[in-house]
Structure 1
Amino acid sequence: MISKPRLLIAISLVLAAGVLTGAQLGKIAPLVGWYQADMGFSLVGVGWLTAVLAIFIAVAALPAGWLIDRLGLGATFRLSAAALAFGAIGLALAPAPAAVFAARIVEALGYLGLCIGLPAILNTVSPPAWRGPVLAIWSGFVPVGFALSDLLAGAMLPAYAPPAFLMVLALAFAVLAAAAIAALPRLPAQASGEGLGGFGASLSVPVVLVTLAFGMAVVQSVSAFAFLPAYVGGEGSHYLVSAGVVALTVPLGNVLASFLVAGRQAGYMAALCIVAFAVSGAAAVPAFASADPMLSTASAILFVVSGAVVASTLFAAIPYIVPAAGAAAVVIGLICQAGGLGTVIGPPVAGYVIENAGYPGLGWFILAVSLLGAAFSAALLALPQRAYRLA
């Protein structure tokens, strides 16, 4: 039996490895010019290089969740970490576009396994009272990872070549992943029944509603983040801070949600999602329509923080919605696939809205999406308590 201090260290290392996993998704953005000028990529090619990891999630997260349940969480962590580290090191050393894409695909395989396996591990090893807050913090691994890669790029690229930046991120992930694997207690070899039972037994009305709500949360957030830099650099130049500073407030929502959900049950979390969806949707309208510097900036920050509260709270609800005979990895895979599809669908639809209704139209589009998310959360709240399980 592992002591609570050692368990806290293990959980912290898993969370840190998750942040470095998210950093691998964001590390291409600071290197767009280098990949074009020195590596011979077109802008479209760089776009595909950036999107490969997200595409794997959008296409394969659900079947990956089932496979992870078959393999076991420990084996999944080891194999996925090895794939991500190997691919990341290969990316840093790749001499030509073909080798770069090959390394990125290996990275994507590891990224897919870690995005589903790590939260499933956190759900398994955390004591019941910790699960909600821990998963709420986990949900911020991508934006925090993006911020980390941006900060490291800003610190390194003026003095070091891009391959050195890529290698530092690769080795930092490898070290943290190895430390987390060593620190974790023994994990169960398999989480659920044989054959397809793990998949079928993992589906329920609460699971579907949380999945749909999470998809709406992702659509509204990526729709805003995809165009916020262009807006602040143009029509929204009256903002008091940069788009990057606005994005860096995401962890505030993750931490706030972790405090709000501590010791709470699923019904409270559903109600919190309704409120946070409503706040984020209402804030999106002045964020993209108001000409007042203070109002627009404050609204954008409120939108980001409340949106992070939504995503964190939905992840925190996972221990309560996994059916007793189901597998957390399968449920997380389904939720992640909804998020991946939202990542793929949201920006093109938002771009179409902007072309036809301008940036104010984007704010109203985000409000409509948030109302859908609130409706799914309200349906979750309306379910009887017996639809849930104790964490």
Structure 2
Amino acid sequence: MQSLPDRPLRIAAIVLLLATGVFTGAQLAKTAPLIGWYVETIGMTLVEAGWVTALIGIFVALAALPAGFAIARMGPQRAFVVASAIIVPGGLILAATTSPGLIFAARMIEGLGYVVLCVGLPSLLTAISPPTWRGPVLAIWSGFVPLGYASSDVLAGLIAPAFGAQTYLLVVILLFAALALASNVVLRWLTGVPADAAPVPAGASGVFSVSIVLVALAFGAFVLQSVALFTFMPTFASVPGALLFAPALVALSTPIGNALAGVLVAGRTARFMMVLGIAAFGVTAAAAYFAFVSGGAFAASWGAVTMAVASGVVASVLFAAIPFLVARPQAVPAAIGLVSQAGGLATLASPPLAAFIIERAGWTGYGWFLALTGLAGGAILLPLIAAGRRRAP
């Protein structure tokens, strides 16, 4: 890492923002362990409880790109403060109420803050990180959703049985609030923040370039594949003798890929990142074949874990490459918004599409769907090998 006068403070800010990102992901995930509680105690139908969990994701699918342009005008640090000020009241209302109407209203408030954080936090991390740090930092950031799911699951298991579901919800939002506040305090102490952290006129330059559009399409393919994998892994595991271990271990393998990619992309060009992404997509395709087509619990178990790790690598390299593919640094927030929106749309499409394939072609057809999606993602990135020669200064 390069020499900086405020290096310890800058590292502290990055670590706090990454931790805040994990608990941003936890806001998305925190209602999933409570679906039974919403049905049995609150009196919702199963469909309504499902919408409580899915509602935030709809905001990302519909508004991530506009949020990116807004953050480019506002500046990522100011956007972080505003989004935190929106999501915390929503979380407090959610923890305090048992009224279905207020629960949906609270989730809509949280969704508004969440979509800004999804784009604003990586934009802010890019702005405060020296160029040689940006690839690894964004690679680690990209694991915020699986880590958020893991954190919420652990906290739900520890708190909800002993102290109740509402106490668990309160703890999750208060942990986010504490981390966001600490991050903001440290950010205010930083000096020499790069100029691209400042508000600038928003524009499409560098956002709708061929390179960024291809990254967005590849990210959509990644999300289509990975959401399908994790959504139906518990269903697959319910087949007698299908897996050697709990399906949760598959999802928890993803951050290994994020960490691995963070190490591999440090100081490398976007071209290297694209080659790594293509290779990782190829691994997901091969792993999907072994997991669901070839047969056998051993192949299925380790194929699924390998696929999850490789998926973590794919997500990391796609986010890490964004600052090196935009035409100007100020376009990073909007570019992240475009990539995130592609992922949001794929998140909505993936479960019903995978379910249709499973119903029509069984688990073998599902495996081929995952494999072909991985191959398609790798093919999308091929033109970027020639376009991605820029190295961090």
Matched, 1:260 2:255: no
Tell me which residue corresponds to 2:220: 215
The one-letter amino acid paired with 1:232 is A
- With over 3 angstroms needed to count, the CA separation of the structure-2 counterparts of 1:95 and 1:268, relative to structure 1, is same
Question: Whole-Å Cα distance in 2 between the matches of residues 189 and 323 of structure 1?
Answer: 13
Aligned to 1:355: 359
Aligned-residue Cα RMSD (Å) equals 1.7
Residues 132-171 of structure 1 mapped to structure 2, 5 A cutoff: 132-171=135-174
* 190 and 276 in structure 1: CA distance in 2 versus 1, 3 angstrom threshold: closer
Q: Tell me what 2:384 maps to.
A: 380
- The aligned counterpart of 1:205 is 210
Aligned identity (percent) is 46
Among candidates 300, 306, 312, match of residue 302 of structure 1: 306
Matches within 5 A, 1:190-339: 191=198, 193-194=200-201, 198-234=203-239, 237-324=241-328, 326-339=330-343
Q: Does 1:20 align with 2:23?
A: yes
Match of 1:115 in 2: 118
Residues 57 and 112, structure 1, Cα contact 8 Å, conserved in 2: yes
Structure 2 residues not aligned, in runs of 5+: none
Tell me which residue corresponds to 1:34. Answer: 37
What's the secondary structure of 2:43's corresponding residue?
Answer: coil
Over 3 Å counting, the alpha-carbon distance change for 1:56 and 1:297 in structure 2 is: same
In structure 1, what is the Cα distance between the partners aligned to 2:135 and 2:388? Answer: 20
SS at the partner of 1:368?
A: helix
Q: Distance in 2 between matches of 1:123 and 1:174?
A: 22
Report Cα offsets for 1:215-234 as digits up to 9, x if no partner: 11111100111101100012
Flag structure 1 segments of 5+ consecutive residues without an equivalent.
none
CA contact (8 A) 1:73 1:189 kept: no
Give the whole-Å Cα distance in 1 for the aligned partners of 2:183 and 2:330.
26
Aligned partner of 2:368 in structure 1 is 364
| Counterpart AA for 1:283 | A
How far apart are the structure 2 equivalents of 1:278 and 1:302? 11
Deviation at 1:326, TM superposition (A): 4.4
1:147, distance to aligned residue in structure 2 (A): 0.4
Q: Distance in 2 between matches of 1:145 and 1:108?
A: 15
Give 1:204 deviation, angstroms. Answer: 1.3
CA distance in 1, matches of 2:208, 2:36: 45
TM-score by length of 2: 0.94
Aligned length: 386
How much does 1:192 deviate?
6.5
Taking structure 1 as reference, are residues 169 and 323 closer, same or farther at Cα in structure 2, changes over 3 Å only? same
Is the Cα contact below 8 Å between 1:281 and 1:368 reproduced in 2?
Answer: yes
| Residue 84 of structure 1 pairs with residue 87 of structure 2 | yes
Q: Is the 1:17–1:177 Cα contact (8 Å) retained in structure 2?
A: yes
Q: Return closer, same or farther for 1:325/1:304 CA change in 2, 3 Å cut-off.
A: closer
Change (3 A) 1:189 1:94: farther
Provide, for residues 339-391 of structure 1, a one-character-per-residue CA deviation record: whole Å limited to 9, x for no partner.
Answer: 10110111111111101110111110111111111111111113374xx5746
Q: Cα offset for 1:191?
A: 4.8
Mark the CA change 1:338 to 1:191 in structure 2 (over 3 Å): closer, same or farther.
farther
Do the aligned partners of 2:218 and 2:378 also contact (CA within 8 Å) in 1?
Answer: yes
Residue type at the aligned position of 1:230 = T
How big is the shift at 1:193? 4.7
Offset at 1:257?
0.4
CA distance in 2, matches of 1:139, 1:330: 16
Distance 1:294 1:321 in 2: 40
